[in-house]
Amino acid sequence: MNSGSGTTRTFEFGRTHVVRPKGIHQATIVWLHGLGDKGSSWSQLLETLPLPNIKWICPTAPTRPVAIFGGYPCTAWFDVGDLSADGPDDLEGLDASAAHVANLLSTEPANIKLGIGGFSMGAATALYSATCNILGKYGNGNLYPVNLSAVVGLSGWLPCSRTLKNQMEGSIQAVRRAASLPILLCHGLGDDVVAHRHGEKSAQALNSVGFRNLTFRTYNGLGHYTIPEETDEVCNWLTARLGLQGTRS
C-alpha cells in the first residue's frame, strides 16, 4: 500500500496484521511498532489482552534509510537522527505515516470509536497523529480525515513539539478538541533508549498547549520494553475512556 504526503517521495508500507474483536465491536485502534520492528510483533501481544470489544490494526512501517543508523535501512515510520524531540523533524515521513494510519481508520463503521497507540517511534507517530487530529490537518496542510477518541503512547516522545504552541494559538476549536482528547503516556524510569525525561517533557508540552485529558504514568525500573503492569494500565484506561462493555458475545 502506498501513501505519500507530497510529490517527492512515495512510501511503501509493509504488511498489516488485524486482531478481530472477540466480543461486540465497539472500538478500533491502530497500534504502531517501534523502530526496526514489524506489525506482527505487537498483534501477537494485543491478541492476549482482555479487551474483547477492540479491533486492533497493526501495520508495518516502510523500510527506509534511517539517519540514526548512519543511513542503514530498516522499518521506520519517519527518518530520525535522535530518538527524542531534540532532533530535526521529518515532516514528510510523519505526514505519510499519519495519513496511512488515518486511511486505515477511515473505513471503520461510523458508530465505532477510533484510537491510535504505539511503542517508541510508534508512540511518537501516534502523538503526531493526535496533534493532526486536533488541528484538523497534517503538517502539509491537507485535511485530517478522522476523529480520534483515545491515544496511547508507550516509551515515546512528541515530534514537532517546538512548533505546536504557535499552531495552536488562535484556534479556539483546536484548544477545545485538545482538552477533550484522552491521552495515556507511559514511560519507564530505566529507559536507556528514549530517556524518561523525553517522555516527561512531551507530556508537559502537550499539557501546556491545552491537552488537559492527559495521564502520564512512570514505572520504576522499567527499560525500553513493556511489562504486564503497564499493559494492565492500558487495558483499564481504554475500557474506562472508550466506555467498553467488556462482554464477550
Q: What are the catalytic residues?
A: 120, 191, 224
Sequence-distant contacts of 61-70: CB under 8 A, at least 24 apart: 61/13, 61/14, 61/32, 61/33, 61/97, 62/11, 62/12, 62/13, 62/14, 62/96, 63/12, 63/14, 64/11, 64/93, 66/35, 68/35
Identify residue 238 by its one-letter amino acid code.
L
The C-alpha cell 504502531 sits at 32
Identify residue 149 by its one-letter amino acid code.
S
Q: Which cell goes with 50? A: 482482555
Quote the distance between the C-alpha of residue 231 and its chain's center.
15
Euclidean distance between CA atoms 123 and 180, whole angstroms: 19
